[in-house]
């Protein structure tokens, strides 16, 4: 029975805490959050202890593992603290917005033989798992092209955007990770283009809302990513993989399977699941369970800090490419 503390009681922390509580091989010891009664309220709901102080939980003897769902700028220090304390870690993405800091953290984790998993939840979505499994089973032969569509239902608040690190590090980073995972190889060249088609005032943050990225691996496999901060029809998350022997695609998830036929529309579907908390509820649960299982069995972490570092590197390259109008060697 793995004893777990969850740091951060925001929307992501809540998800992780509930999944820990529901995992039969884990016990939720405590949750921590410095803001108001967020931790206390969550602890009350899940029958565990609470704290306003994340670091105190890390050092507790009755805590074997910590899940880090705090603001990005605290990830590295909490992660390293936990590793130094001999605790296993599941850390939300990104490691840090600054790749130099991320690299230093990786170095330290390695030095300490730390057990850290990075929380790229989308790999654990049942359809994504099935895509990877089908590729591994050879059902479409050699991968040639990966097409990733990733659109949010609407623009976040300006406050969120100001501290987000920009669309590539905040939003597309997930797609960079999926690209690497589905390609089965690391991109060596990247070209990006970025526009402000939703909100021209994003110039205030030097940010963009609509982007495309094109990448190539050393063996010539290709990947396209398109992202937009606003898709009025809903949260759009699709993958397509063309291989030498076939193609795989997944579809979006809807609340129900009902279709409507009227004078004005035929076979119209219900709305898509609203946003990532709903769309990836299964993925978050599977991710947490995979973390618990890896820690308990001592097997390799399914997603590593290096994966987090690589996705961040691709995000940096994409920003550079978009700003300079040049292809970037990764």
Q: Find the binding residues for its own copies in span 235-294 (CB under 8 A).
A: 236, 242, 244-263, 265-272
Instruction: Please report which helix (H) or strand (E) contains residue 54, including its range.
Output: helix 54-58
Closer CB to its own copies, residue 56 or residue 139?
Answer: 139
Q: Calculate helix-pair angle for 38-46, 11-22, nearest 10 degrees.
A: 20
Per-residue string for binding with its own copies, 298-327, x by CB under 8 A?
A: ---------------------------xxx
Say if CB 30 and CB 50 are below 8 A apart: yes
Give the one residue of 11, 37, 233, 300 binding its own copies; rule: CB under 8 A.
Answer: 233
Nearer to its own copies (CB atom), residue 40 or residue 191 = 191
Closest to its own copies by CB, 86 or 246: 246
Write out the binding residues for its own copies, residues 94-133 only, by CB under 8 A: 126-127, 129-131
CB nearer to its own copies: give 32 or 223: 223
At 194, which helix (H) or strand (E)? strand 187-195
Which of the residues 155 through 194 are near its own copies (CB under 8 A)? 189, 191, 193
Beta-bridge partners for 195: 210
Copy the structure tokens of residue 124: 């654990």
Q: Which stretch binds its own copies (CB under 8 A): 56-64, 68-76, 84-92, 145-153?
A: 145-153
| 283/214 Cα distance (integer angstroms) | 26
Q: Is the peptide bond before 183 cis (omega within 30 degrees of 0)?
A: no
Q: What are the CA-CA distances from residue 29 to residues 17, 42, 186 (Å)?
A: 10, 12, 38
Q: Which of 169, 216, 279, 285 binds its own copies (CB under 8 A)?
A: 216
Q: How far is the CB of 137 from its own copies (least distance, A)?
A: 11
Contacts of 45 (CB under 8 A, 6+ apart): none
Q: Is residue 54 a contact point for its own copies (CB under 8 A)?
A: no
Contacts with its own copies by CB under 8 A: the residue count is 72
Strands 143-151 and 116-119, bridge-based pairing: unpaired
Residue 154 binds to its own copies (criterion: CB under 8 A):
no
Distance from C-alpha of 310 to C-alpha of 308, rounded to nearest angstrom: 6
Output 85 or 145, the one with its CB closest to its own copies: 145
Nearer to its own copies, 75 or 285 (CB): 285
In the region spanning residues 1 to 40, those forming contacts with its own copies, defined by CB under 8 A, are: none
Nearer to its own copies, 37 or 249 (CB): 249
- Report yes or no: 150 and 237 within 8 Å, Cβ to Cβ: yes
Q: Which one of 82-90, 157-165, 211-219, 291-299 is the stretch in contact with its own copies (CB under 8 A)?
A: 211-219
- Taking the complex as a whole, the smallest distance from the CB of residue 212 to its own copies amounts, in Å, to 5
What is the chain's length?
Answer: 330
Instruction: Please name which of 77, 56, 128 lies closest in space to residue 279, comparing C-alpha atoms.
Output: 128
């Amino acid at each position: 029975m793995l004893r777990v503390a969850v740091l951060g009681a925001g929307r992501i922390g809540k998800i992780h805490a509930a999944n820990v509580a529901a995992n039969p091989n884990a016990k939720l010891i405590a949750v921590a959050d410095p803001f108001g009664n967020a931790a206390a309220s969550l602890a009350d709901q899940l029958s565990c202890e609470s704290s306003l102080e994340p670091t105190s939980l890390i050092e507790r003897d009755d805590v074997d593992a910590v899940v880090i769902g705090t603001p990005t700028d605290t990830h590295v220090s909490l992660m390293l603290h936990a590793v130094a304390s001999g605790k296993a870690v599941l850390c939300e993405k990104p490691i840090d917005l600054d790749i130099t800091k991320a690299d230093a953290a990786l170095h330290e984790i390695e030095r300490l033989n730390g057990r850290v998993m990075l929380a790229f939840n989308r790999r654990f979505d049942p359809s994504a798992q099935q895509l990877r499994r089908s590729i591994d089973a050879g059902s479409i032969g050699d991968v040639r092209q990966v097409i990733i569509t990733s659109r949010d239902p609407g623009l976040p608040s300006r406050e969120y955007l100001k501290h987000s690190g920009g669309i590539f590090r905040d939003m597309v980073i997930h797609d960079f990770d999926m690209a690497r995972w589905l390609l089965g190889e690391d991109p060596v060249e990247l070209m990006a283009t970025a526009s402000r088609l939703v909100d021209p005032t994003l110039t205030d943050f030097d940010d963009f809302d609509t982007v495309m990225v094109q990448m190539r691996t050393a063996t010539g496999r290709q990947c396209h990513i398109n992202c937009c901060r606003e898709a009025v029809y809903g949260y759009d998350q699709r993958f397509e993989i063309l291989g030498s022997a076939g193609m795989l695609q997944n579809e979006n998830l809807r609340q129900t399977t009902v279709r409507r036929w009227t004078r004005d529309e035929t076979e119209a579907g219900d709305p898509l699941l609203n946003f990532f908390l709903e769309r990836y509820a299964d993925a978050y649960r599977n991710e947490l369970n995979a973390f618990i299982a890896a820690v308990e069995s001592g097997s390799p972490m399914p997603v590593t800090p290096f994966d987090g570092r690589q996705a961040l590197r691709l995000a940096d390259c994409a920003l550079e490419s978009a700003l300079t109008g040049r292809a970037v060697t990764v």
